[in-house]
């Protein structure tokens, strides 16, 4: 592989995201600094790992989102140490690692953890290896399954502080709402194939669901029993 100064590319990308106004907090900035994006792109794409654009994941028809989109989502999630997170759509594991960097520190003797669900077995293998190589395995569990049904599938227990969906849903999946804790947040793109609304969904202490529009976005379709079929 050709030698690149990835540290320099990473710092330049972070500077660009700050100028765009999408990278705001030290927690998210530090995560971008520490997680090497070049380790999560498809082999041969390392030279463009820090471009602010989606990157294709080989022949899986999936992508890593553009850094600016990831920054928007991470900032909106208001992550902190000790949180339990459900991620629907592992992809390469890059977003998973960024979240793990922020939440894995213990809070009240409880370490945060990411449960990530992926339906493409090739990506499970790819992401698992990437997470291992970057030393986030203790904070991440990756499972094969239908993320539209939550995890465990069709469980109605409120168990997650945060839920993030990295594919476009035609509507908000019912079991994701059920598994979100009171006081929790869910971030999900909802809409048609070519453009969606990124929604931030909160559940108040009484269980009331509140939807907030964040921005327009474009994601690959969320496939599953309660998604696109």
**Band of residue 206 on the pLDDT scale cut at 50, 70, 90:** very high
For residue 187, what is the domain's CATH number? 3.40.50.150
**In this structure, what token pair is assigned to residue 114?**
């990411």
Q: Which of 30-65 are b and which e, b meaning 16 or more Cβ less than 10 Å from the residue's Cβ? A: ebbeebbbbbbbbeebbeebbbeebbebeebebbbb
Domain assignment present for 120 = yes
Residue 26 reports pLDDT greater than 70: yes
The model carries a pTM of 0.95
Domain assignment present for 39 = no
CB distance 99 to 87 below 8 Å = yes
Q: Write down the catalytic residue from 53, 56, 65, 193.
A: 65
What whole-number percentage of the chain has pLDDT above 90? 93
Domain assignment present for 98 = yes
Domain that holds residue 127: 68-217
Of 36, 124, 32, the residue nearest 87 (C-alpha)? 124
Domain assignment present for 7 = no
What whole-number percentage of the chain has pLDDT above 70? 99
CB distance 75 to 102 below 8 Å = no
Task: Supply the pLDDT for residue 165.
Answer: 98
Checking 52-56 for CB contacts under 8 A at 24+ apart, the result is 52/13, 52/16, 52/17
Domain assignment present for 49 = no
pLDDT (tens digit per residue) in 61-96: 999 999 999 999 999 999 999 999 999 999 999 999
Residue 1 reports pLDDT greater than 50: no
**Band of residue 3 on the pLDDT scale cut at 50, 70, 90:** low
Total tally of structural domains belonging to the chain: 1
Domain assignment present for 109 = yes
The span from the CA of 156 to the CA of 173, in Å, is: 12
Residue 2 reports pLDDT greater than 80: no
Domain assignment present for 176 = yes
Domain assignment present for 38 = no
Q: Look up 65 and say whether it is catalytic.
A: yes
Of 113, 99, 160, 165, the residue nearest 141 (C-alpha)? 113
Q: What is the mean pLDDT of residues 158-162?
A: 98
Task: Supply the pLDDT for residue 125.
Answer: 98
């Amino acid at each position: 592989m050709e030698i690149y100064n990835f540290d320099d590319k990473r710092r330049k990308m972070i500077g660009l995201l700050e100028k765009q106004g999408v990278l705001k907090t030290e927690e998210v900035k530090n995560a971008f600094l520490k997680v090497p994006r070049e380790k999560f792109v498809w082999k041969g794409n390392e030279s463009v790992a820090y471009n602010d654009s989606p990157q294709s994941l080989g022949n899986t028809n999936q992508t890593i989102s553009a850094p600016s989109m990831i920054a928007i989502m991470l900032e909106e999630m208001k992550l902190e140490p000790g949180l339990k997170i459900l991620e629907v759509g592992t992809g390469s594991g890059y977003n998973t690692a960024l979240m793990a960097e922020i939440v894995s520190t213990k809070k009240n003797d409880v370490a945060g953890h990411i449960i990530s669900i992926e339906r493409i077995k090739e990506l499970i293998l790819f992401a698992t290896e990437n997470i291992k190589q970057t030393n986030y395995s203790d904070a991440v569990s990756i499972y094969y399954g239908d993320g539209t049904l939550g995890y465990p599938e069709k469980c109605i227990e409120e168990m997650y502080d945060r839920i993030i969906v990295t594919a476009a849903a035609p509507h908000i999946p019912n079991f994701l709402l059920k598994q979100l804790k009171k006081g929790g947040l869910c971030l999900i793109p909802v809409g048609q194939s070519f453009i969606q609304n990124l929604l931030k969904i909160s559940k108040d202490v009484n269980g009331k669901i509140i939807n907030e529009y964040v921005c327009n976005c474009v994601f690959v379709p969320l496939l599953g029993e309660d998604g696109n079929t």
